[in-house]
Amino acid sequence: MATLSILWVIGAYVLTFSKLADCATWAEWWTYDRTSLSGPENWGKVNAEWSICLKGNKQSPINIRTKDLLYDPNLRRFHVSRHRVNASMQNNGHFVHITIDSSSKHLVNISGGPLQYHYHVSDIVIHFGETNSEGSEHSIDGRFHSGEIQIIGWNSDIYSNATEALGSSNGLAVIALLMKVAEPINIEFDVISNFFSRVKYKGQKEHIRGLSIAELLPASSEFMTYEGSLTYPGCQETVTWIIPNQPFHVSQKDLDFLRELKIGTSDKVIQPMVNNIRPVNPLNHRTVRTNINFRNVSSGCTMEATTFYEVNF
Ligand SMILES: *[C@@H]1O[C@H](CO)[C@@H](O)[C@H](O)[C@H]1NC(C)=O
Ligand SMILES: *[C@@H]1O[C@H](CO)[C@@H](O)[C@H](O)[C@H]1NC(C)=O
Ligand SMILES: *[C@@H]1O[C@H](CO)[C@@H](O)[C@H](O)[C@H]1NC(C)=O
Ligand SMILES: *[C@@H]1O[C@H](CO)[C@@H](O)[C@H](O)[C@H]1NC(C)=O
């Protein structure tokens, strides 16, 4: 009997340890594989800290129906400061993750538009598809672009660091740039794309000097905005999304470089990173606002006639 209870105690310890080990790897564990237990449908089921991925009613990405856009005359232009920053690019096994050096001389702010505060840009995330007709997380009238770059800033007026902002109201602002193969290409992205081959495998990291985030933005000052969440775990519903009303142009070569990336380390048999996209979530009565004043268009009153989007098929 005594032996049995000692064994039982040892068993309990082993269990505790393996649970701890699991916790340590949570950040690694999830995938974009829709057929897998680790896929988007299950992010909120397996880890209690991510339950909002499943239960949340303000989740992202969404499909934007252009006929439901609401013109808001109070929306101003949004601004991204033009300073160049140093950064590092990493393959984290999920997406291309660019982290802005917090020691850079000048930090880049996002402000204006729908935002009441200044947001320090801290991270850039790149999603992309296997073919040119998939790869963006947000869709427009049910159609997808070839990729999506998300420029993430945290509210530095109210909060003291990104971690605190992430879980707090009005914590984050994310600019989503939808990618399209077209001329003229975005030069800044073309420069960044030279680094993709150096982060082909998970864990690889490369420094980027003198990155201009403002140069990534399309020339148009028109945008759409809504309240949502991060599109990866923990799916915190603290994000004001800003989606410029013009895709950003890349070359086929830039996209092909991205498609070489793998989700594993170099010593394993590994899958490509392509289609690292969370499926769209229901809008749930949220409003998507825009500063595009459709009433000014002389050609008629339909919104379709005025949108700049040409989505890949
Ligand atoms: C980037 O790093 C280099 C040194 O590695 C430094 O000389 C330069 O001032 C940094 N640039 C910014 C914008 O911080
Ligand atoms: C960025 O925002 C902070 C407030 O969080 C402000 O103090 C600073 O002046 C802003 N910098 C620029 C370049 O706009
Ligand atoms: C972020 O700020 C909070 C609140 O000020 C603090 O408790 C926490 O330690 C900070 N975290 C980091 C990573 O600096
Ligand atoms: C759009 O129409 C509003 C009035 O409806 C007017 O005040 C504004 O100047 C117009 N904008 C342009 C660019 O024509």
User: Residue 85 pairs with which residues in a beta bridge?
Assistant: 211
pLDDT digits (tens, 9 = 90+) for 249-269: 999 999 999 999 999 887 766
Q: Indicate if ligand 1 lies below 6 Å from the C-beta of 104.
A: yes
Pairing of strands 205-212, 239-244: unpaired
Q: Judge whether residue 129 has pLDDT over 80.
A: yes
Ligand 1 centroid vs 204 CA: distance in angstroms?
Answer: 21
Mean pLDDT of 1-23: 39
Neighbour tally for 205: CB within 10 Å:
13
pLDDT digits (tens, 9 = 90+) for 173-187: 999 999 999 999 999
Q: Judge whether residue 119 has pLDDT over 70.
A: yes
Cα dihedral 253, 255, 259, 261 sign: positive
The tokens 């320090």 sit on which residue? 120
- Report the C-alpha gap between 70 and 207 in whole angstroms: 41
Q: Indicate if ligand 1 lies below 6 Å from the C-beta of 84.
A: yes
Q: What is the pLDDT of residue 17?
A: 34
**Domains of the chain, start order:** 52-312 (3.10.200.10)
Neighbour tally for 232: CB within 10 Å:
21
Ligand 4, atom nearest to 296 Cα: 1
- Report the C-alpha gap between 313 and 305 in whole angstroms: 19
- pTM, full prediction: 0.86
Q: Which ligand is nearest to the CA of 159?
A: 3
Binding pocket residue ranges, ligand 4, CB within 6 Å: 293, 295-296
Half-sphere exposure of 86 (CA within 13 A, CB side): 8
Active-site residue numbers? 159
The single-letter code of the amino acid at 253 is K
- Report the C-alpha gap between 135 and 276 in whole angstroms: 7
pLDDT digits (tens, 9 = 90+) for 229-248: 999 999 999 999 999 999 99
Q: Which pair of tokens denotes residue 94? A: 């999920």
